Amino acid sequence: MDYDAALAYLDDHASYDKTGRIDEPSTDAIAQLCSAMGDPQSVQPVIHVTGTNGKGSTVQMISRLLIAQGLTVGTYTSPHLERINERIKRNGEPISDEEFGEQIAGVADMEVITGVRPTYFEAVTAAAFRWFADVAVDVAVIEVGMLGRWDATNIVDAQVAVVTNIALDHTEFAGPSLADIASEKAGIIKPGSAVVIGETDPDLVSIFTDEGGASSLVRGHDFETVDNSLAIGGRALDLRTPTTIYSDVFLPLHGAHQGDNAAVALTAVETFFAAPLAEDVVHEGFANVEMPGRFEVLGVQPLTIIDGAHNPPGADVCAEVFFGDFHPEGRRILVVGTLREPGDMLAALRADEFDVVHACTAPSPRGVAGADVAAAARAIGCDEVYVHDDVETACRAAMQHADGDDAILAAGSIYVAGDARPALRKYAN
């Protein structure tokens, strides 16, 4: 199966994407597929990461720290920004088109043998497990797709289970309370798992500590970010873990929240090794972190930024970084599209504080029509609002009317960030 055929196979399974058998949530299907493949998810130790926001960044930090320690690391994340290969990496390098086709072909063969029709996400997840086994990674760092307990990734038995934070999201599948969300995410904790908890609400923390892991470490008590300062190109951090204080750590990501993610990631890796890390390993690992699409600066004249925040808590953090750390002096221009109720997202993004809003339809079957996004923007007080059919057109219009002192932010969904990235890079400098 070549790459195009693999994509066609996944498209043919896309109607099952995201929730699959939602009436009876279960990991049975992917477990059967992987069992027929010899349970590749059990070949190497696993660090499993869940949480409402910050999962992707934390996974990348963990992976880079492990690579700096000299391990061969498999990393599985979702969704992708531009190409699906980005989801499956070995030592930071995406799986090749040829290898991706081979792995999806293996999953397709198992569908015929087992009679189990996987969802899009289950098929890609099984392919990742299979490839990690084939290339013999030393450790796999796995990001939960959604929630945790019934997520396709949750057939792993994690040595370290990581929780970044809890906020209201995916309430159509779990909720309505934060405790309900936390309970679903706690499902990744297995009896032998050491648990690293980034959430600090005592009522939510207890849900994770009571789940039955082998041990628990909690942010604010066992580890923390001691200093979290703005630096050129990122953050300057002092991080305290259960064993050590690491000083003057540079992280090339924007936003104070990334400092909190760094403390979680470093504690997770220390927990995995059951030992502190050498300072040079810590500095090298964090210095090599890249996070495309997460408050990524593409150009400076005008300041051009994309961010894939997909829910109001993430959008609120995005706005805080944009207006706080960058405080642009010229006009502030927002390119925005979303997959959810636009009023909440626009309020969280502080759209009414932008001088111009270019509303567009996010490139997804669930994308809210640009006209509806524009109407929501006007309803919260935005004056200069334009409507576009797609992200590229909105980005082009924003760049054409931006001066060197202006700032453009494209946000509202990872799908918007993914389409905006190549569109804005045509003009960014």
CA distance 428 to 306: 12
* CB burial string 294-316: b at 16+ within 10 A, e below: bbbebbeebbbbbbbbbbbbbbb
Question: Tens of pLDDT along the chain (429 residues)?
Answer: 999 999 999 999 986 443 344 556 899 999 999 999 999 999 999 999 999 999 999 999 999 999 999 999 999 999 999 999 999 999 999 999 999 999 999 999 999 999 999 999 999 999 999 999 999 999 999 999 998 999 999 999 999 999 999 987 655 565 678 999 999 999 999 999 999 999 999 999 999 999 999 999 999 999 999 999 999 999 999 999 999 999 999 999 999 999 999 999 999 999 999 999 999 999 999 999 999 999 999 999 999 999 998 899 999 999 999 999 998 889 999 999 999 899 999 999 999 999 999 999 999 988 999 999 999 999 999 999 999 999 999 999 999 989 999 999 999 999 999 999 999 988 765
Tell me the two tokens of residue 156: 């792993």
**How high is the pLDDT of residue 329?**
87
Query: In this predicted structure, what is the pLDDT of residue 21?
Result: 44
Provide the token pair at 371. Answer: 């006209």
pLDDT number for residue 176: 72
Helices assigned H by DSSP within 115-255? 120-134, 178-185, 202-209
* pLDDT score of 264: 98
**Nearest 5 degrees, angle CA 87-CA 91-CA 95?**
40
**Token pair for residue 410?**
């494209």
Take residue 217 and report the two structure tokens written for it.
């470490």
Q: Tell me if the bond preceding 342 is cis, omega within 30° of 0.
A: no
What is the reported pLDDT for 310? 86
* pLDDT reported for residue 169: 63
What was the pLDDT predicted at 19?
36
Q: Which residue has the tokens 């597929």?
A: 33
Please tell me whether residue 167 adopts helix, strand or coil conformation: coil
Which pLDDT belongs to residue 25?
81
Contacts of 240 (CB under 8 A, 6+ apart): 223, 224, 225, 226, 246, 263
Return the pLDDT at 316: 95
Contacts of 268 (CB under 8 A, 6+ apart): 47, 49, 58, 62, 160, 162, 196
CA–CA distance, 178 with 206 (Å, rounded to integer): 13
Nearest to 248 by CA among 269, 224, 262, 228: 228
Distance CA(270)–CA(157), nearest Å, equals 18
| Domains of the chain (ranges, CATH numbers) | 3-287 (3.40.1190.10), 296-425 (3.90.190.20)
Closest CA to 81 of 100, 72, 94, 64: 94
Q: Which amino acid is at 161?
A: A
Which DSSP symbol is given to 413? S
Model pLDDT, residue 340: 87
Distance CA 144, CA 130 (A): 17
